[in-house]
Chains A and B, each alone.
Chain A
Amino acid sequence: MDEFWGPFWIVLTGALAGASCGLLGAYLVLRKMSLLGDALSHAVLPGIVIAFLLSGSRDVIPMFIGAAICGVIATVLIETFHRRWRVQEDSSIGITFTALFALGVVLITAFAGQVDLDQECVLYGEIAYTPWDRLFWGEWDLGPRPVWILGTVFALNLALVLVFYKEFLIASFDAEMALSVGVSAALVHYVLMGAVSVTTVAAFESVGAILVVAMLIVPGASAYLWSDRLKVILTLSALMGVVSAIAGYFLAGVWNSSIAGAMVVVMGALFALSLIFAPHYGLLGRFVRQIRLSLRVARDHVLLKLLRERESQRVSALSWGDLVDTAARWVSGIAIRLLIWQGLITRKNGHFSLGEQGVIHATRLLRNHRLWESYLNQLGLPPDHVHDPADALEHFTDDHLREEIRAALPNIATDPQGKRIPDG
């Protein structure tokens, strides 16, 4: 095998497996059925062995049929245990797939003489042999068999997702609505599970029963973090499968390790990156939003403190020590510096006072605060209970909400403590 084609076939096989699994995996994650994908990838084993015993060959067509039948049987068993016989759903899944997998293992070992299925290969796969596993048409060498198998499966999955996009969508989002307009959610479920079973078998030889689970779940779960659009999630999920295959191959070269293993390690890394960097649902994004929120609250508190001092004691400037919030010194300190930078407050001789714009901001906040206090008081909260909730709500009250509260209150000039509600 020459230096280009060898690696090319291996990477292509991995990429096709990753894309096939990624496409279906996105639906599994979406339908909160990741565990079912895991279960099916194991439960199809007896189907494969029986197909093998009956056909006497490693022909893929009988294997696909065996796997699809076995996968649907497993799905029906899980549903029946759960819905009819009221076994907990997770227990139903656990019982069904381990029992079927064990049956497969028993069959392999009992018929060891006749079954040319290597257990190692079933569990771990052997993608490195791909280039030598050829498909022939008479005398013609058509290329590696796994590429043909996985290529077909990918094309089928893609066709399924494109043709039945609408049906998959409504059945996944609202099963009852789907049923009421004539789309059987149960049928969609079985078709999806049948496709997962066939895909699993197709990917078996290359990546093995254990790693195929990762290919089904990890890209889907990662893609889900990046977008709120189903089409984007599906595309990303398939793409991540492809990227993992390519990167995994080269990584395996560097580490001199299992190729399929390295591919899944890359998937894990992609998931970790998604978890951290995904804009809306990622940890970093969430952290930044939290910091910004804390800063905003701290900033508002500084402005309000200065305004209240000015109002009550006619003192218009405060020292750093008086101004900074002792309970959150760090955030409060940044907030004060930010306010100076924005020109909302000014510092003179180590004392801080409100700037022109700062007064406007602070007055609006104080108006929010006292309107909320009055409103909550009117709802029946005693005057000494209204400060804290108003303190929390004042930051998030826009013009619209403020006028709604104003409209809900009688024409009053002061809050429950008798303090003037400023205009603003």
Chain B
Amino acid sequence: MLHAVDESVTPIHIHDMTVAYHKKPVLWDVDLAVPEGKLVGVVGPNGAGKSTMIKAIMDLVPKASGWVHIYGKPYSRMRQVIGYVPQRESVDWDFPINALDVVLMGRYGHIGWVRRPDKIDRELAEEALEKVGMTDFGHRQINQLSGGQQQRVFLARALAQDAQIYLMDEPFAGVDAATERAIIDILMDLRARKKTMLVVHHDLHTVNQYFDWLVLINMRIVAAGETKDVFTDDNLNKTYGGRLTVLSEAAQAVAHHQRGL
């Protein structure tokens, strides 16, 4: 799938990227060019490498091969362009911090080392909390928030990053209906403002409704493109069906040799 890609206007361009954990490949030869201003769903079974792809884009996990460009440049030079919503379980919610201070972390990338957040940063953080409907909870200890509220805080933190591209790892996981509605409204609003979003998602029922672009993934890209073209029974079978076990068997074989079995 080699197209001529105009890199300077392509938010995320992944070329021949392979990611391995302890030499065991979890993502093979990913080629992907995400167009600007789209709300993109990343869908696939458990262990398909959805989170890994998001993390590899941000250099959070090492790539075995290939590269990622953000508007034509490596991630390390484009940090401020990207906002990140990690999985909610990835942090300790008993940490002694309140919601506003978590949201304020979204400003750290702009503030730079050593300098303190100033009044404008605080205002932006409070604005972000307001957008997710959490104004009254800013000074609440984060362990006193419900799961949905915690997810909103994470989203607010990404909004405070004031980015062009948002990478979101399962923002709808384990949230109540009202929160899901609130989150999707914000994503639609971001899209209206020409932001690009890559959203790991697991609920197939809402794919058509939420995303205008779709990446189906199972250890490799099965299909990527406009949702109406990609979200087909045939592609879903390829993503969730049995034929792909060849790749997982190959990964297992590599792992076995690693352990000398």
Contact = CB atoms under 8 A, between A and B. Distances in A.
A227 B109 contact: no
A173 B95 CA distance: 7
A224 B96 contact: yes
Interface residues of B, number: 31
Interface string B53-83: 0010011100000000000000010010010
A231 B30 CA distance: 45
A186 B112 CA distance: 17
Interface stretch (A135-143, A163-171, A378-386): A163-171
Of residues A166, A181, A182, A233, which shows the largest number of chain B Cβ atoms within 10 Å of its Cβ?
A181
Contacts of A227: 96
Given A180-B60, A180-B79, A174 B105 contact: yes
Interface string A148-187: 0000000000000001101101101110111111110000
A180 B96 CA distance: 22
Interface stretch (B39-47, B84-92, B179-187, B201-209): B84-92
A229 interface: yes
A340 interface: no
Contacts of A166: 108, 111, 114, 116-117
B60 A233 contact: no
A86 B60 CA distance: 20
A177 B105 contact: yes
Contact of A180 (B82, B98, B111): B82
Contacts of B97: 169, 173, 228, 230
B198 to A, nearest CB: 14
B141 A228 contact: yes
Interface string A121-154: 0000000000000000000000000000000000
Given A180-B79, A229-B96, A173 B60 contact: no
Interface residues of A, number: 26
A177 B114 contact: no
B181 to A, nearest CB: 15
A170 B143 CA distance: 17
A167 B113 CA distance: 7
Interface in B197-240: none
Which of A169, A182, A228: most chain B Cβ within 10 A? A228
A166 B59 CA distance: 22
Contacts of A172: 95
Given A181-B79, A181-B108, A174 B113 contact: no
A86 B255 CA distance: 14
A403 to B, nearest CB: 15
Interface string A317-357: 00000000000000000000000000000000000000000
B91 A180 contact: no
A215 to B, nearest CB: 21
Contacts of B141: 228
A64 to B, nearest CB: 23
Contacts of A173: 91-92, 95, 97, 102, 105
Contacts of B108: 166, 170, 178, 181, 183
A30 interface: yes
Interface in A24-78: 30, 32
Nearest to B157: A177
B111 A174 contact: no
Given A181-B108, A181-B109, A176 B95 contact: no
Interface centre among B22, B96, B116 (most CB of A within 10 A): B96
Nearest to B158: A177
A366 B84 CA distance: 47
Contacts of A180: 58, 60, 79, 82, 84, 109
25 contacts: A30-B96, A86-B22, A166-B111, A166-B117, A167-B113, A169-B97, A170-B108, A173-B92, A174-B91, A174-B105, A177-B86, A177-B157, A180-B60, A180-B79, A181-B105, A182-B79, A182-B109, A183-B108, A224-B96, A228-B97, A228-B98, A229-B96, A230-B96, A230-B97, A233-B96
Interface of A: 30, 32, 86, 163-164, 166-167, 169-170, 172-174, 176-183, 224, 227-230, 233
Top 10 A-B residue pairs of the complex, sorted by shortest distance between their CB atoms = A181-B109, A228-B141, A228-B96, A180-B58, A174-B91, A180-B84, A230-B96, A173-B95, A181-B108, A170-B105
Given A179-B60, A181-B105, 20 more contacts: A30-B95, A163-B114, A166-B114, A166-B116, A167-B113, A167-B114, A172-B95, A173-B97, A173-B102, A174-B105, A176-B86, A177-B84, A177-B86, A179-B58, A180-B60, A181-B108, A227-B96, A228-B98, A228-B141, A233-B96
